């Protein structure tokens, strides 16, 4: 959306806003997806590395911003090697756990310590194999930042029963977005706690409501199990299928509420985090994703995929990619062509070096 006034992006009218867009189609992606699935099965999973590259190149190549598209440069051998290393580690761990439990425990501890490193390597790899207008991205986050962003933040959110979740979310946003680079220029997320708590209130209220409904549903389910099948309880035999279906029917609303809670909060944090992020201290990211609609898209995608035994997975993936793009924008300060020409001139040398040091994708 070019020439957007302040009412659209909350920025001065002289700034120029551009929406992302996604031009892929479900029919087109289905052809890629079905070949990926069949070849992965035939090769016992080996082709999955090539399948990931084909999939990402399709989605990146159909994502557009300001008349240019993104590119994905990973090589399948990098992805395959990373998966072989992880699978080999897990096989050795399980063998040692069975024959030498102490060594298995040590390997499990090593893996736990390595998780933050694997996460940052995954973020770095994804950034370095992504380009826009022939300029690469980069990720410069460190180990202890990953510990804080993913381990400590989760611990804080759980221990405080979600009350401090916005603080944890700000740690994660600052790590994931704040360490992102494009052409050597930094992204700077500065979300306020007030804005994060504003999107936390609704999920918090629904969490309390969900807990109450869970108590009611559990009471009703216990009554159904005891009332409809007393002879089964007396004989120790399992209840019939009708009772099991009734129990699931009672618990279904609770499951939907808790599914929606996480999605509503995720969309809210995305809106706040993106809209509080500047690039190169001049340009602004923006997200105005409708939270309830996002929850509906994700949940309905899952239901349709399950009901069609996975055949509608390409439709769901394209639908979600288009949804993300439609509600994401960047607001530029100045002429877009001049901005990216300057970035390319200063970042091209760095981008070429990434080809040699992009490393291995551990797929974590």
The string of pLDDT tens digits covering residues 294-326 is 999 999 999 999 999 999 999 999 999 999 999
Question: 3-class SS at 77?
Answer: helix
97 or 42: which leads in pLDDT: 42
User: What sign has the CA pseudo-torsion 163, 323, 36, 355?
Assistant: negative
Local structure of 191: helix, strand or coil: coil
Considering the chain, what percentage of its residues have pLDDT values greater than 90?
Answer: 53
pLDDT at residue 335, as a whole number? 74
Model pLDDT for residues 206-242, shown as the tens digit of each residue: 998 888 877 777 776 666 665 555 555 555 555 566 6
Buried b (16+ CB within 10 A) or exposed e, 222-250: eebbeeebeeeeeeeeebeeebeebbeeb
User: Positive or negative, the Cα torsion across 98, 101, 104, 105?
Assistant: positive
- Which two structure tokens, joined as six digits, stand for 239? 């209840």
Kindly state the tokens that stand for 114: 């390595």
Domain boundaries, the chain: 141-178
What's the whole-number mean pLDDT along residues 187-194? Answer: 95
Strand partners, 332: 16
């Amino acid at each position: 959306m070019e020439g957007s006034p302040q009412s659209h992006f909350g920025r001065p009218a002289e700034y120029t806003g551009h929406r992302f867009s996604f031009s892929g189609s479900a029919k087109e992606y289905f052809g890629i997806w079905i070949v990926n699935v069949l070849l992965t099965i035939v090769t016992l999973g080996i082709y999955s590395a090539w399948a990931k590259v084909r999939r990402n190149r399709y989605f990146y190549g159909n994502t557009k911003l300001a008349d240019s598209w993104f590119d994905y440069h990973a090589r399948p051998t990098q992805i395959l090697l990373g998966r072989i290393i992880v699978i080999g580690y897990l096989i050795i761990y399980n063998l040692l756990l069975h024959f030498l439990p102490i060594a298995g425990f040590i390997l499990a501890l090593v893996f736990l310590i390595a998780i933050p490193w694997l996460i940052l390597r995954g973020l770095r790899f994804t950034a370095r194999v992504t380009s826009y207008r022939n300029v690469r991205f980069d990720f410069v986050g460190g180990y202890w930042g990953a510990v804080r962003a993913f381990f400590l933040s989760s611990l804080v959110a759980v221990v405080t029963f979600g009350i401090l979740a916005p603080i944890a979310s700000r740690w994660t946003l600052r790590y994931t977005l704040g360490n992102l680079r494009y052409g050597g220029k930094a992204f700077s997320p500065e979300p306020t706690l007030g804005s994060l708590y504003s999107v936390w209130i609704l999920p918090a209220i629904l969490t309390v409501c969900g807990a109450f409904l869970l108590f009611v549903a559990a009471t009703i389910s216990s009554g159904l199990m005891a009332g409809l099948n007393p002879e089964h309880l007396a004989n120790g035999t399992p209840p019939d299928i009708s009772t099991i279906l009734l129990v699931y029917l009672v618990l279904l609303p609770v499951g939907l509420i808790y599914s929606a809670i996480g999605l509503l909060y995720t969309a809210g944090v995305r809106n706040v985090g993106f809209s509080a992020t500047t690039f190169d201290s001049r340009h602004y990211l923006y997200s105005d994703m409708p939270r309830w609609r996002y929850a509906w898209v994700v949940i309905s995608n899952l239901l349709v995929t399950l009901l069609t035994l996975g055949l509608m997975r390409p439709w769901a993936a394209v639908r979600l990619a288009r949804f993300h793009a439609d509600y994401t924008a960047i607001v530029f300060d100045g002429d877009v062509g001049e901005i990216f020409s300057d970035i390319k001139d200063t970042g091209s040398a760095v981008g070429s070096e990434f080809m040699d040091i992009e490393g291995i994708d551990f797929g974590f």
